[in-house]
Amino acid sequence: QVQLVESGGGLVQAGGSLRLSCAASGRTFSSYRMGWFRQAPGKEREFVATISRGGGSTYYADSVKGRFTISRDNAKNTVYLQMNSLKPEDTAIYYCAASRSVSGQRMIAPSEYDYWGQGTQVTVSS
């Protein structure tokens, strides 16, 4: 079991930056593969980024490659999403998620994750 709480969302101008944080409860945070997803108005929840348990491997959606960076600090039970060069199309509610899977590779589907945070709103103005 793990509880996730996102923070760091807000309003930012196009081209700006924002860092999201996801604080997790639990005895062993490093047991979970972590991911970020987002959901814009009228759209399905979509994959953004994922990171391996030790933080050594990452994978990104094509739409955010080169702009977003996922990282984690297992000592602090926290995963981050650094978002640079933000675009209006990045506007969405951003969710962090945790997976118990020990065999998952890309981990891009929401169904592959077991625990979800409440979400934090990111709005990029043009």
Tens of pLDDT, residue by residue over 57-114, are: 999 999 999 999 999 999 999 999 999 999 999 999 999 999 998 776 788 999 999 9
pLDDT at residue 120 greater than cutoff 80: yes
Sheet containing 78-83: which strands, arranged edge to edge? 4-7, 18-24, 78-83, 68-73
pLDDT at residue 48 greater than cutoff 70: yes
Q: Give the mean model confidence (pLDDT) for residues 39-46.
A: 96
Whether residue 115 contacts residue 97, with contact meaning beta carbons closer than 8 Å, is answered with yes
- State percent of the chain over pLDDT 70: 99
Task: Output the pLDDT for position 104.
Answer: 65
Task: Output the pLDDT for position 101.
Answer: 86
What type of residue sits at position 19? Answer: R
Phi, psi at 76, each rounded to 5° = -105, 5
pLDDT at residue 27 greater than cutoff 80: no
